[in-house]
């Protein structure tokens, strides 16, 4: 932070007019020049209280507080000076020193913005340009925790999406495998059914196209016919033989 250049220049514009109405502002300037920063602060506060929109008193008050190493407290007077003036030079200096405050706080994001606004009001200032480049470098090397957290969350989200996608793919492959297995199982069942299952109440046909019962009926019919033929033959044999009417003695 030693490389950060601080504007300690007091805004003295309209000093003659201010002296006529406000003696505290020049007295504060004198105390500041003597490095009596606490006395200067007191005078600037009185001057600021007399005129709410006193950009000069606000800016100089910020400088006197900053020089007492009360960096955070210096922020409010600088902001008030920025709001109270339309003068581009005054805005430039206030934004520059506001950037210094943020650099001390290690709030590099805000520091970059402050220096950027300072350059908008005075693009030719090399000191501001240097501080702006330094703030950008520090921001790059020290990203905000929130951004890091967002990046971590994003990485986690991406990893989760990737895992979910892989899981879905695995599930899809498993489903396809299960479907294939089911199909194979179904085909196997059909095949086995064709081989082993016997429909209830229906005789299974033999290879010749005649069922077992049907074949048995035909055999029975043939046997009956043969029996009838045999009976006729036997009847004729009996008819041709002499019949004994009497018993032999």
Distance between CA atoms of residues 158 and 150, nearest Å: 12
Q: How many residues does the chain have?
A: 249
180: how many CB neighbours lie within 10 A of its CB?
A: 10
Give how far the C-alpha of residue 112 lies from the chain's centroid of Cα atoms, to the nearest Å. Answer: 28
pTM for the predicted model, two decimal places: 0.56
Find where tokens 């003295």 sit: 12
User: Which of 176-180, 200-204, 205-209 has the highest mean predicted lDDT (pLDDT)?
Assistant: 176-180
Q: What is the tens place of the pLDDT at every residue in 70-125?
A: 999 999 999 999 999 999 999 999 999 999 999 999 999 999 999 999 999 999 99
Structure tokens at 124: 């030719």
CATH classification for the domain delimited by 15-142, as one of 3.40.50.10740, 1.10.10.10, 1.25.40.10, 1.10.3210.10: 1.25.40.10
Query: SS3 of 14, please?
Result: coil
Express each pLDDT in 208-229 by its tens digit.
Answer: 444 566 566 667 776 776 676 6
CA dihedral sign of residues 121, 104, 107, 71: negative
Q: What are 140's two structure tokens?
A: 């790059």
């Amino acid at each position: 932070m030693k490389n950060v250049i601080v504007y300690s220049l007091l805004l003295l514009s309209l000093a003659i007019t201010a002296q006529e109405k406000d003696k505290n502002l020049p007295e504060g300037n004198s105390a500041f020049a003597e490095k009596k920063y606490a006395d200067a602060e007191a005078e600037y506060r009185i001057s600021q209280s007399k005129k709410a929109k006193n950009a000069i008193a606000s800016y100089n008050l910020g400088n006197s507080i900053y020089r007492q190493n009360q960096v955070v407290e210096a922020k409010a007077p600088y902001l008030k000076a920025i709001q109270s003036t339309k003068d581009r030079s005054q805005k430039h200096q206030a934004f520059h020193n506001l950037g210094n405050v943020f650099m001390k706080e290690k709030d590099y994001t805000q520091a970059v913005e402050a220096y950027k606004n300072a350059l908008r009001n005075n693009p030719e200032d090399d000191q501001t340009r240097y501080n702006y480049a330094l703030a950008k470098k520090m921001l790059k090397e020290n990203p905000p925790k929130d951004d890091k957290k967002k990046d971590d969350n994003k990485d986690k989200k991406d990893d989760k999406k990737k895992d979910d996608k892989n899981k879905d793919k695995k599930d899809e492959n498993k489903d396809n495998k299960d479907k294939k297995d089911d199909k194979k199982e179904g085909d196997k069942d059909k095949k086995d059914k064709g081989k082993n299952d016997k429909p209830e109440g229906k005789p299974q046909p033999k290879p010749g196209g005649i069922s077992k019962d049907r074949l048995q009926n035909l055999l029975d019919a043939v046997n009956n016919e043969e029996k009838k033929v045999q009976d006729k033959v036997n009847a004729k044999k009996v008819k041709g033989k002499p019949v004994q009417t009497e018993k032999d003695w």
